[in-house]
């Protein structure tokens, strides 16, 4: 399904895609490895969230967030 009634300035907008990578190995080396891997694939680092343990100052997990420009919204849902 093509969206024909979009204002002219919205015809070339693209939907943003999100990627979340979860890791329980929370070291600088592991985070660098994950970030470099996904950035080299064209994703843009959006942020890092940490899940903390109650009894420790070290994070138990990290969630690394990436974004990437997706499909043209004026052609969203169009097949072929």
Pull the structure tokens for residue 55. 């009894």
Please state the domain count of the chain: 1
Is residue 13 predicted with pLDDT exceeding 80?
no
Does 27 map to a domain? yes
Does 26 map to a domain? yes
The model's pTM is 0.72
What average pLDDT does range 52-66 have in this prediction? 94
Pull the structure tokens for residue 16. 């943003």
Confidence tier at 9 by pLDDT (50, 70, 90): low
What average pLDDT does range 26-49 have in this prediction? 98
Does 32 map to a domain? yes
* Owning domain of residue 20: 15-71
Does 5 map to a domain? no
Does 29 map to a domain? yes
8-14, long-range: CB within 8 Å, 24+ apart, which pairs? 10/73, 10/74, 11/74, 12/72, 12/74, 13/72, 13/73, 13/74, 14/69, 14/70, 14/71, 14/72, 14/73
Is residue 39 predicted with pLDDT exceeding 60?
yes
């Amino acid at each position: 399904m093509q969206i024909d009634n979009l204002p002219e300035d919205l015809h070339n907008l693209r939907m943003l895609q999100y990627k979340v990578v979860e890791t329980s190995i929370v070291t600088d080396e592991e985070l660098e490895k994950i970030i470099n891997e996904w950035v080299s694939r064209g994703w843009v680092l959006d942020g890092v969230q940490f899940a903390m343990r109650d009894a420790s100052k070290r994070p138990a997990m990290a969630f690394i967030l990436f974004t990437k420009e997706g499909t043209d919204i004026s052609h969203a849902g169009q097949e072929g």
